[in-house]
Structures are given as structure tokens and as C-alpha cells.
Structure 1
Amino acid sequence: MGLHPGALPDFPWDSLTPYIARASAHPDGIVNLSVGTPVDPTPRVVREALAAAADAPGYPTTHGTLALREAVVDWFARRRGVSGIDPAAVLPTVGSKEFVALLPALLGLGAGDIVVHPAAAYPTYDVGARLAGATPMPADAVSDWAGNPAVKLVWVNSPSNPTGAVASREYLADVVGAARSIGAVVASDECYAELPWNEPFVSDGVASILDPAVCGDSHESLLAVYSLSKQSNLAGYRAAFTAGDPQIIAGLLETRKHAGMIVPAPVQAATVAALCDDTHVAAQREVYRARREVLSAAIREAGFRIDASDAGLYLWATRSENCWQTLDFLAHHGIVAAPGEFYGSAAANHVRIALTATDERISAAARRLVKAR
């Protein structure tokens, strides 16, 4: 029996329609910075791999090719400081959003179970709990849920969407310790990890939940979730994966086999190419860095304060007013951002401003903001 539509919140971006209409009336056109969808070309090395694998008449495996799983293992060792992952403990997913939405149900959670997620968070953590019939619980402090046996799943998101905050290894270790003591699973959404901007995260890297400094020598009860949408402009490919506890991965694999949740074979080949090529990731990071510098300077000039925003594709900004007032101000200048209320009541005075627009549109937004104050 499916959920009644009233059991889920309205799709938040639908509420932006009047702001988009108003911004679209600007003489120089709209600058839509409300959604983090890449606009730059998919790297040639990835497109060539996809094309070369286009002749794929047979069913691919749900577990993914060994080449894909080994590429994930190598990537974790090379880019994230995590070694010792068994290729069997890697599972490709159809993008990361479906995995976030379905994980509570795939773990068998239901009524009476609690799913913890950050207080300012991507809405799908909440939706996934509701889809399973479990109870979502927004909380940042470990003490808010530690020792509660009803907590079965804890989501962490570092770098954060929407705030761009990066969790320290010490904080993540506290989460892991508290979750293990009550038998809860920790799932870490890490899809912005290749986009750090500020120290110490540029030098030290963004910690994974699978980092030995976080979890010791065991991945028990842990899942790291990653997407290539951001680092490689692959949102249209739905290329993502999870890795971690071999027993949890085995259970997820079995369920996904029954449900036919399979990443297409050409996308699996493209994923391998993307993971094995660091050059395009570094180049794309510099594109975003330049856009970030232009936009952040203009946002501050317009009287905003930028909080957190240590990594990722967003600027978490405030004018110390309700986010809908800020959206009205931006729409008057032909700009659309995402209101903080999309991400929880704790975020009501912020807006999330994306870097995912062309250089020309970012420059247009910057010019308008500088003149706006």
C-alpha cells in the first residue's frame, strides 16, 4: 500500500514559480541559481567511454562490473585516504538521490524507528524516512540522539547541502561511536567531497566516514554515498555508488536484484572512466572556483553575509531577514536562489545560492548585486 500524497511534503521547488516568473521579466533575463544542476560539458573522456560501451544488448549486473567496483576502491585510496575496501563492498546506484530516498526502506525500517538527519538538510533524508514509515529526526548534536535505541539510521552530509559546512574527523568519529553503541547504521552523503575551498579542507581533504581516523580499522555499520554528478558533470548519467560495511552492502544488493535497480552498462563504463581521470575533476574545480570568487564578492557587496560554505557548489548567505524576503529582493534583480526553509526551519534566514550557471550568467548576477545595495 503506497503512501497517501498528504504523507509527504509538497515538492519544494514548485513554490518558486512566482519568483522565477518575476525574475524572468528582468530586461537582461533570469539568472537561476536555485538548483545545483551542472551546466558545463560532460568530459570528453567520459562521453567516449559511454559511446564505446553503447552496444549493450544484455542485462548488466546489479552489483556492477568488477572494473567499476575496483575503480571505486582505487578512487577511495587515491582521493579520500581510505584503503582496504573490498570490491564486493561497493554497489553502484542510479544516482544518489534514489538511494537516499530508499535506504530506510531497503534497511527494513518502519513504524517506531527513527532516522536522524542534519537540522539544515537536503529534503530527501526526511522524505526517505517517511516513505519507509519511520520518523525523521533533525539533529546536529550527537547528544540529541545518542543512547536512543529507536534510532536505526543516522545520516551525515559532509560537505553539507545546503550550507557547505565540512564535518571534522573528530565529529564524525563521535557519530560513529554513538551509532555503533545502539546498533544504528551511519550513512554519509559525501557527493561534494572533491570541491573544498577553504582550509584546512583544501590541504587535508574532506574526511570520509570510512576514513580510518573516523572509524578505526572497521567499516562495520557504515555506508559512504557518492555521486559523480557534481565532480564530473554527470547529473544526466545518474552515476553514483555506495561502499562500506560488506554485510549491509550484501543485503542491499540482494534486495536491489529483486527490484531490478540496475545502473545501465554504458553508464557503468562511463563511471569507470570518470573515476580514473583526475584531470577533468581538477579543471572543473577551477571553473567553479572562479565563479565562486566573482559571486561571493558581489554577494557581500550587496550586504549579505556568507556563512559556512567551506566546500561544495553553494554559497549559504543571509541578509538577517526571512528567506522569502531575500528571495523577493533577488527576484527584483532577476536572480533566483533556494530559500533556506526548503532545508528545515533552522535555516529560515538563509538562502542557498548555486555556482552552477555559466560564466556569463554568474557575471550578470554579480553586476546586478553590486548595483543593488
Structure 2
Amino acid sequence: MSALSSALPDFPWDLLEPAKAIAAGYPGGIVDLSVGTPVDPVPASVRQALADASDSPGYPLTAGTPRLRAAIAGWLARECRASGELGVLPTIGSKELVAWLPTLLGVGPGDVVVIPSVCYPTYEVGVRLAGAEVIRADSLTAIGPDRRVKLIWINSPSNPTGKVLPVEHLRKVVDWARERGVTVVSDECYVSLGWDTTPVSVLADEVTGGDYTGVLAVHSLSKRSNLAGYRAGFVAGDPALVGELLAVRKHAGMIVPAPVQAAMVAALTDETHVAQQRARYASRRDTLRSALVKAGFEISFSEAGLYLWATRDEDCWVTVDRLARRGILAAPGAFYGPAAARHVRIALTASDERVAAAADRLAEPLTD
């Protein structure tokens, strides 16, 4: 037997442990702005729905309950302006789907998957798990005439950069892919968090006109509803592709627990808590952005999402070390691709008190 893990890169967050230890030793404790894990409360209505469904002795439905499927479709129609007949499927968060999607769709050795030049590391992990080849590219011309391309990932708003792709770009990618029989998968986990612009879903009528052939969108409730601990996500789009995913996932036992499915219905049918959480993040974003700029950072993109993409035009690990010595932990751009080696990712997911502490520390000179 050969160890599958040998085909995978080092787990990035393990590489951050030395900097984390330095930051933890700072007077007043660490301000962890690296991972981006939610810290605010789960909405009361969602918790109540989870509790009410906790007596669930039977097996849940892999396809999701009728109520959940209706809630997902309704949310996509309202918030993503998707008016066509969608296939929808709940997933165990979004990371497991990203990691296994190429495999579940039959991508394998000899095939190519295109991912953004700077992106979430799990896209590449998923390609390696499938035994396929990765191409990092942000433009269709950079891909060239390679007929081995089977799947293309896009991510808007981007993690880590916060860049938002315009409607015209999304439409061009979809048209290009359809001409070649390539599947387009759009990671839209941050679509509810636009700041300087309003993100558009690949499923929006402006992009697909209600025809989802060859197109999938991945969504998560981790950020918009603070449900990272619930592992609640979904995929939607081409009914044929969603049907294929369902058929394989039923065999593999990839099932969202019944109480979590009930909690998802509550979260997807209430936008009040989303607006409240957006306001929290907006305030923290303003505080951190101002402090970073005053400290000599340039903020790139960061039009949407939960992060500020910042640079001092130096190696990202040098920046990580400088911040760690002031008790602030950031994610190095190197985690997200070779083209990101001079940036760091600053998460907005810390309490108001910790964000204020970070701002105070950034007022100190960032010298060795």
C-alpha cells in the first residue's frame, strides 16, 4: 500500500505553530487573525431548531429533507437571483466537498483541473486526491488549448484576496467551459459579505439565464451564520451533476446529520441574523484596515469576504514574524500559492476586544 497522504502538501496551519507560540507570549495574549474561525454566537433560532430536532434516531436523508431542499432553493432564488430549476444537495460543510468534488465527478489521472493562481489550498488538495494535474490560472487564455481540462474552479469573493469577479467574467468562463464540455464550479462561501461591491453568484440569471448546464456553486453557512462548528454547507446547480453527486454520496455515507439539516432551514430562512453579523464584521474591518494602513501596509483587493489582503512588500514570513512579535497571528500568503508570497491574510473573525488590541499593537513600529 502507498500512503495517500504522501501525495498531499504539508498541512499549512501546522507550519504556523512557531509564530503562534511567539504571539502567545506577548503581554496581553495572542490576537489570532489567521484561521478565520467565527467567534460570535450561533443565532438563537438556529440553536433552537437544532435542539428541537435532536431526537433523531433514524438515518437522515443524504439528499436533505424536503424542507431543507426548499429552503436552499428559496435562498438561492432570493439572494443569488437564480430563477431556474436547480439541483440542490446539502454537504458536510464546504471543505469536504471541495476536497472530494473532483473524485466524486470522475476526474482522475490524465485529467487537468484549473484553480485560481492565488486560492484556498483545498482546491489543490482535491485535485491531488483525484490523481489529476493542477493548472493555476486566472485567465482563459493562460489555460491554452489543453483538451485534458475537465473542471475549472472559480472563487468569488476570493479567499484569501477578497477579489470579486464581475458578471462579464463569470459569463465568459461559463461560455468557454460549455464549448469544451468542462464543468465550472464556483466557490461562493463569502457571497453574503460584500463591502466595496456586491458579489454575483455564477447561478444568477445575469450569468446563466436560468440554464445551469455544467455549472455548480458551493455555499457554506459557516461564515454568514457562524455555523462552522455545525458543518453545514450545500452545492447547487446543474441537476444532472447534482444527481451524480447524490448517487455517489449515498454509497459513501456522506450525510448531513438530521439536527443540522433542521438548523440549516432556520438559518436559510432568516436574514436578520446575517445583517447583524455583517455589521459586526464591518466595524472590525474598518478598525483593522485603518490600523494596517497607518502601520505601512497596502491593502490589495479585499472588496468582500472576511479578510484583509495586506502587504509590506516583503516576504510574507517576515511579515508574519513581525506581527507575531506584537502578539498578532496572521496567515502567510504562501499558503495560497506562489504568487502570494509577499502578502498576509488578516481575518476579521476576532472579538471586538481582540480587534481593538490588534489595532493598538499595530501602532507600535513594526521593526525587528
TM interval, short-chain normalised: over 0.9
Residue 149 of structure 1 corresponds to 147
The DSSP-based 3-state class of the residue aligned with 1:61 is coil
Residue 212 of structure 1 corresponds to 205
Q: Is 1:65 aligned to 2:65, yes or no?
A: yes
Aligned AA (1:353): I
The DSSP-based 3-state class of the residue aligned with 1:242 is strand
Residue 43 of structure 2 corresponds to 43
Deviations 1:25-77 (CA, angstroms, capped at 9, x unpaired): 11111111110100000000100000000110110110001110111111011
The 5 A counterparts of 1:260-271 are 260-271=253-264
Aligned AA (2:140): V
Deviations 1:201-257 (CA, angstroms, capped at 9, x unpaired): 2xxxx1111112112331000001000000000000000000100111111100000
Residue 167 of structure 1 corresponds to 165
Contact 1:146 1:178 in 2 (8 A): no
Structure 1 residue runs of 5 or longer lacking an equivalent are: none
Q: Following the alignment from structure 2 to structure 1, what is the Cα–Cα distance between the partners of residues 121 and 104?
A: 18
Residue identity over aligned pairs, in percent, reads 59
The Cα shift of 1:22 comes to 0.7
The 5 A counterparts of 1:95-174 are 95-145=93-143, 147-174=145-172
Residue 356 of structure 1 corresponds to 349
Normalization by structure 2: what TM-score? 0.98
The Cα shift of 1:355 comes to 0.5
The 5 A counterparts of 1:277-288 are 277-288=270-281
The Cα shift of 1:7 comes to 1.1
The Cα shift of 1:103 comes to 0.4
Contact 1:3 1:131 in 2 (8 A): no
Contact 1:147 1:178 in 2 (8 A): no
The DSSP-based 3-state class of the residue aligned with 1:229 is coil
Contact 2:316 2:334 in 1 (8 A): yes
The DSSP-based 3-state class of the residue aligned with 1:371 is coil
The DSSP-based 3-state class of the residue aligned with 1:187 is strand
The 5 A counterparts of 1:231-246 are 231-246=224-239
Residue 250 of structure 1 corresponds to 243
> Which of 326, 334, 342 pairs up with 2:319?
326
The 5 A counterparts of 1:168-207 are 168-199=166-197, 201=198, 206-207=199-200
Q: Is 1:308 aligned to 2:301, yes or no?
A: yes
Contact 1:148 1:182 in 2 (8 A): no
Q: Following the alignment from structure 2 to structure 1, what is the Cα–Cα distance between the partners of residues 181 and 41?
A: 43
Q: Following the alignment from structure 1 to structure 2, what is the Cα–Cα distance between the partners of residues 372 and 244?
A: 49
The Cα shift of 1:3 comes to 4.6
Q: Following the alignment from structure 1 to structure 2, what is the Cα–Cα distance between the partners of residues 66 and 90?
A: 11
Deviations 1:168-221 (CA, angstroms, capped at 9, x unpaired): 01011111111111111001000000001103x2xxxx1111112112331000
Task: Note closer, same or farther for the CA distance 1:211–1:71 as it changes in structure 2 (3 Å cut).
Answer: same
Contact 1:146 1:179 in 2 (8 A): no
Normalization by structure 1: what TM-score? 0.96
Aligned AA (1:239): A
Q: Following the alignment from structure 1 to structure 2, what is the Cα–Cα distance between the partners of residues 4 and 247?
A: 30
Aligned AA (2:249): R
Q: Following the alignment from structure 1 to structure 2, what is the Cα–Cα distance between the partners of residues 193 and 372?
A: 35
Q: Following the alignment from structure 1 to structure 2, what is the Cα–Cα distance between the partners of residues 329 and 320?
A: 13
Q: Following the alignment from structure 1 to structure 2, what is the Cα–Cα distance between the partners of residues 307 and 233?
A: 26
Aligned AA (1:210): L
Aligned AA (2:243): A
Q: Following the alignment from structure 1 to structure 2, what is the Cα–Cα distance between the partners of residues 38 and 369?
A: 22
Aligned AA (1:289): A
Task: Note closer, same or farther for the CA distance 1:312–1:214 as it changes in structure 2 (3 Å cut).
Answer: same
The DSSP-based 3-state class of the residue aligned with 2:129 is helix
Q: Following the alignment from structure 1 to structure 2, what is the Cα–Cα distance between the partners of residues 255 and 338?
A: 35
Give the stretch that moved more between structures: 60-69 or 145-154. 145-154
> Which of 335, 339, 344 pairs up with 1:346?
339
The Cα shift of 1:78 comes to 1.1
Q: Following the alignment from structure 2 to structure 1, what is the Cα–Cα distance between the partners of residues 228 and 365?
A: 33
The Cα shift of 1:143 comes to 1.1
Structure 2 residue runs of 5 or longer lacking an equivalent are: none
Residue 337 of structure 1 corresponds to 330
The DSSP-based 3-state class of the residue aligned with 1:165 is coil
Q: Following the alignment from structure 2 to structure 1, what is the Cα–Cα distance between the partners of residues 5 and 240?
A: 34
The DSSP-based 3-state class of the residue aligned with 1:240 is strand
Q: Following the alignment from structure 1 to structure 2, what is the Cα–Cα distance between the partners of residues 147 and 367?
A: 52
Cα RMSD of the aligned pairs, angstroms, is: 1.0
Residue 8 of structure 1 corresponds to 8
The DSSP-based 3-state class of the residue aligned with 2:280 is helix
Deviations 1:285-325 (CA, angstroms, capped at 9, x unpaired): 00000000011100001000000000010000000111011
The DSSP-based 3-state class of the residue aligned with 1:232 is coil
> Which of 278, 282, 291 pairs up with 1:289?
282
Contact 2:109 2:133 in 1 (8 A): yes
